[in-house]
Amino acid sequence: MKAHDGMYIAGAWRPASTGDTIPVVNPADEEVIAHVPAGTAEDVDAAVRAARAALPAWSATPPAERAVKIGAVRDGLIARKDEIAATVTAELGAPLPFSEAVHAGVPIMVAGSYADLAATYPFEEKVGNSTVYAEPVGVVGAITPWNYPLHQIVAKVAPALAAGCTVVLKPAEDTPLTAQLFAEITHEAGLPAGVFNLVTGLGPVAGQALAGHDDVDLVSFTGSTAVGKQIGATAGAAVKRVALELGGKSANVILPSADLAKAVNVGVANVMANSGQTCSAWTRMLVHTSRYEEAVELARKAAAKYGDRIGPVVSAKQQARVRGYIERGVEEGARLVAGGPEAPREQGYFVSPTVFADVTPGMTIAQEEIFGPVLSLIRYEDEADAETIANGTVYGLAGAVWAGDDAEAVAFARRLQTGQVDINGGSFNPLAPFGGYKQSGVGRELGAHGLAEYLQTKSLQF
């Protein structure tokens, strides 16, 4: 697609406040493929004013009519799914089949789910002698990351629209073309002017301006815990609603009764998907000491199958970060059984699929989010030990438990301090709430719980 040289504000593409631009780089070949405007506080203010002006009419639109518009957005995503996949592959580097199935496919499911929810959600209820109304929170500032560029946009914008909110989106600077494509789709779907607005720009400039804007009622941010803390502090100072979906260091707990080969192979695939750039990836594999070496060998073989099948990481900065963590793992005494810090290709921001054994719970690679294709295998002695290790990080976003039967896995999963757990390879559910305990975030996305984030309650007593 051709990049727009302006911002999408109040239903039209408008010139940016300055001529400054941000280059968009294809991480597979390091070529600059486009430039987008570097938005300023002035651009953000224009977008927020447009969203504020559109709010009264959109919030008063009957939910069934809002549902029709969200359905039209979903239809637009379907109609342009090949273009979406190609765009994500160009600016993120994900292999095209993965872009088609996940980066284009999942947002279609999520948008469809909110078209349905907008029409069926109980926006009012009777509680004793009261009527309780669920009303839109107002203008939403959505700040999204680059790792799942369209999914993260749809997971914020669709529920906000369903709730009756208006939105200003500031997408990640690494993947702005997907966001511009989404803006085109909302326009074609007939969303009223100002209901959805897009400002591209750098996080410390445009993102900070959006998070701190006095006329934004809720800030929804997905990204690193460090930036999330800053946004939370900014929002807290203004007594502003905030939803934060942050980092993870999720545990994949394989109990002794599990099908070890399946658990390990699925676990390795989970970490290698999207080149490890997934906040919910199961980057710590916990295996009972009696089966540990067997698991290490299975993981080594599984990682070897990936070879060049995973794409690059998003940028030179990200490649250096991930390679630095791999070097740190070696320095701290972990055993490298697959991959390593050496770049597998001369061109592109590639990192070898990497597996560490003999990782202890206190090592850097077992505690910090790497955001690359790096798996740490950790040994445990018994279930109490596994529970302590699994819960022994500042994060609590996702996880997995494998056992001989679901009931055994569920019993262990209930003891994990984390927002989502897959039981024996359970599949993604776009209606289930997604979000974290501890420093993995505040609030939930997806399904009815995701819609509730964009609502506030009013009770009338009779």
Is beta strand 284-288 parallel, antiparallel or unpaired with respect to 374-380? parallel
pLDDT value, residue 311: 95
Domain with CATH 3.40.605.10 in the chain: 6-246+440-461
The average pLDDT across 268-283 equals 98
Residue 309 has pLDDT above 90, yes or no: no
245 is catalytic: yes
> How many angstroms separate the CA atoms of 419 and 304, rounded?
31
With bands split at pLDDT 50, 70 and 90, how would you rate the model's confidence at 299? very high
Please name the residue that has the structure tokens 């702005």.
176
pLDDT value, residue 454: 98
With bands split at pLDDT 50, 70 and 90, how would you rate the model's confidence at 2? confident
294 is catalytic: no
The pLDDT tens digits of the residues spanning 225-264 come to 999 999 999 999 999 999 999 999 999 999 999 999 999 9
pLDDT value, residue 119: 97
The average pLDDT across 142-156 equals 98
Secondary structure element (H or E) that encloses residue 326, with its range: helix 316-331
pLDDT value, residue 349: 97
Output the average pLDDT for the chain. 97
> How many angstroms separate the CA atoms of 114 and 161, rounded?
9
Residue 328 has pLDDT above 90, yes or no: yes
pLDDT value, residue 51: 99
Choose, from 91, 100, 245, 453, the residue flagged as catalytic. 245
The average pLDDT across 283-295 equals 98
**β-sheet with 124-127: strand ranges across:** 124-127, 130-136, 455-461
Q: Cα 115–243–70 angle (5° rounding)?
A: 15
Query: Under CATH, domain 251-429 is a member of which superfamily?
Result: Aldehyde Dehydrogenase; Chain A, domain 2 (3.40.309.10)
Domain with CATH 3.40.309.10 in the chain: 251-429
Residue 418 has pLDDT above 80, yes or no: yes
Residue 24's DSSP bridge partners are 34
3-class state of residue 257 by DSSP: coil
Choose, from 279, 369, 387, 445, the residue flagged as catalytic. 279
Residue 308 has pLDDT above 90, yes or no: no
Residue 55 has pLDDT above 80, yes or no: yes
CATH architecture of 6-246+440-461: 3-Layer(aba) Sandwich (3.40)
Amino acid letter, 174: D
The pLDDT tens digits of the residues spanning 354-368 come to 999 999 999 999 999
With bands split at pLDDT 50, 70 and 90, how would you rate the model's confidence at 307? confident
